[in-house]
Structure 1
Amino acid sequence: MTVDLEFKPALIIVDFQEDFCPPNGSLAVPEGRDIAPVVNSLLSLPFTIKIATRDSHPQNHISFAENHPGAVPLKSYHTIVHPTDPTKSDTTLLWPTHCVQGTTGSALVPELDAAKVDVVVDKGIDARVEMYSAFYDPMRVSVSELGEKLREKGVTDVFVVGLAADFCVRATAESAVEEGYRTYIVEEGTRAVMRETWEAEGKKAVEGKGVRIVSVDGEEVARVRELA
C-alpha cells in the first residue's frame, strides 16, 4: 500500500465533559453521552494527533448568567467588550454555571478512552471572554495551544467530534477552516443543544463556511483507516 504523505489528519474531541452530559450535567446536551462508542472508535484509528479539548472556566466567567444580576440562563445575552480595545465587542448567550475548574463537572467523561488521547487542551480559561472555538475567542484575546499542536505535527485535515454540535464543535470546525485545514465534522460523533435548529439551519450554515459534515462510515474516515 502506498502511504499518503500529503494527508496528516488530526482528531479533535471537543468538550466531552461531565457537565455537558446527562444525567447530572449542569448544561447537559441531549444524548450527549451516547457519542462515546463513535468517539472511541475514531480514537483507535491512526490519526497523526488526537486532541481532547476541555472547557475550564473560573467561577467568575463572563458567560455564566449567575455573574450578571437579573440574567436568565439560556435566555439572556451579554455584550462583551474587548479588554483593551473598546471598538471591538462580542455578544454572547449566557449559560448555567458549568465546567468550573477543579469540579467534577469539568472532568472528561469516564467513557472516553482517554489513554488514546495525545494532548488535552484547556479552553475558556480567561474569565473576560467567551470561547466556543477551541482555537480562540472571537476577538482573539484568549488563544489556546491547539493551533500550535496541529502545526507541530504538520496536520493537513481536521476531524471534529464532541459537544455540542451547534456551539463549540461548530466554532472549532469553522476556526480550523480559517486556519487553512480541510475540516470535517463526523456527524455520529456529536450532538446538538438545539437539535431542530441545528438540523434545519445549522448544518447548512457550517457547510457554507467550508466545513464538510461526514459520516463515520464515509470515505473521509476510511481514508484515515487506510493509513494503518
Structure 2
Amino acid sequence: MSSRFKPALVLVDVQEDFCPPNGSLAVQGGRDIVPLLNELLDRPFAIKVATKDFHPPDHISFASNHDAPNNKPFESTITIANPLNPSETQETRLWPDHCVQGTKGAELLPELNVTKVHEIVEKGQDTRVEMYSAFADPFKSPCVSKSRLAKLLHDAEITDVFVAGLAADYCVRYTALDAAREGFKTRVIGEATRAVDPSSMDSVLKEYDEAGVTVIEKDDESLSW
C-alpha cells in the first residue's frame, strides 16, 4: 500500500431495469450481487457513490425512438454524431426503454443499503448522446455531457477507486476505464459485477490490462487496507 491511500467505492447502476424479474434490460444474476455490495458498503471507504442511468423518454439509445427496420432492441446499432462536432462519431447499440426518469425502473434496488451511500450521481440525461460511463459520454472533441463524479472524487482527494455493479461489459467497464483516465488507481471487484454478455469479458479484460485497471476478488488485500 502507498503511504497515501484514500479510497472511494463506486456502485454502478444497481437499478430495477437492470435486474430480474421485471427489468426491461435485466442482466442475468443482477440481483445476486447485492449482498456483496452491501458488505462493501459496510467498509469505511472515504466516499461511497451509487450511480444511476437517468434517461429522458426520448433518449437516443432507445430503439423505440428510431424508425424501422433499424429499431430492434439488442440487435440494431446506430451511428451518433457529436452534436458539437459532427465529424466525430460513435457507433452504439440500441436498447429497450430503460431507467426512464420518474419510473420504477430507474430506482435503485430496495435491498441495496442506500443509507450507507454518501452520494448518488445521475447520468445519461442528455437525450443526444449515449453515456455508459458514470463520468462522461465517449466524445472527446469536445465531450458533450459530464456528470459530477470526477469533481466529487477529485475534490475529496481520492487516490483509489473501487468499482462494482452493472453491467460488467458496459457501464462498469467504461466507468472503470474513465476512472483510470482521471488518474485514479482503479480496481473492479469482479464478483460484484454481472455482464450482459459474459462472452465479451475477454475483450473487456484486455482493455483493462492496457489501461492499468485491475480486476480483484472480494478477499483481495487492497480491500483490507
**Are the equivalent residues in 1 in contact too, given 2:84–2:144 (CA < 8 A)?**
no
- Counterpart of 1:164 (choices 164, 167, 174) is 167
Measured in 2, the distance between the counterparts of 1:196 and 1:222 equals 31
Which consecutive residues of structure 1, in runs of 5 or more, have no partner in the other structure?
224-228
Shift of 1:111: 1.1
Measured in 1, the distance between the counterparts of 2:108 and 2:46 equals 22
- Counterpart of 1:44 (choices 42, 48, 55) is 42
Offset from partner CA, 1:89-128 (integer Å, 9 cap, x none): 1110110110000000000001100000000000000000
- Counterpart of 1:7 (choices 5, 8, 11) is 5
Which consecutive residues of structure 2, in runs of 5 or more, have no partner in the other structure?
none
Shift of 1:5: 5.6
Alignment-derived partner of residue 212 in structure 1: 214
Aligned length: 220
Residue identity over aligned pairs, in percent, reads 52
Offset from partner CA, 1:160-193 (integer Å, 9 cap, x none): 0000000000000000000000000001110000
Alignment-derived partner of residue 226 in structure 1: none
**Are the equivalent residues in 2 in contact too, given 1:98–1:105 (CA < 8 A)?**
yes
**Are the equivalent residues in 1 in contact too, given 2:131–2:138 (CA < 8 A)?**
yes
Matched, 1:85 2:85: yes
- Opposite residue 117 of structure 1, the aligned amino acid is V
Alignment-derived partner of residue 33 in structure 2: 35
Shift of 1:30: 0.4
Measured in 1, the distance between the counterparts of 2:39 and 2:206 equals 26
Measured in 2, the distance between the counterparts of 1:210 and 1:129 equals 27
Matched, 1:181 2:184: yes
- Opposite residue 45 of structure 1, the aligned amino acid is R
User: TM-score, with normalisation over the residues of structure 2?
Assistant: 0.95
**Are the equivalent residues in 1 in contact too, given 2:161–2:179 (CA < 8 A)?**
yes
RMSD: 1.2
Offset from partner CA, 1:59-112 (integer Å, 9 cap, x none): 000000110111111111111111121111111011011000000000000110
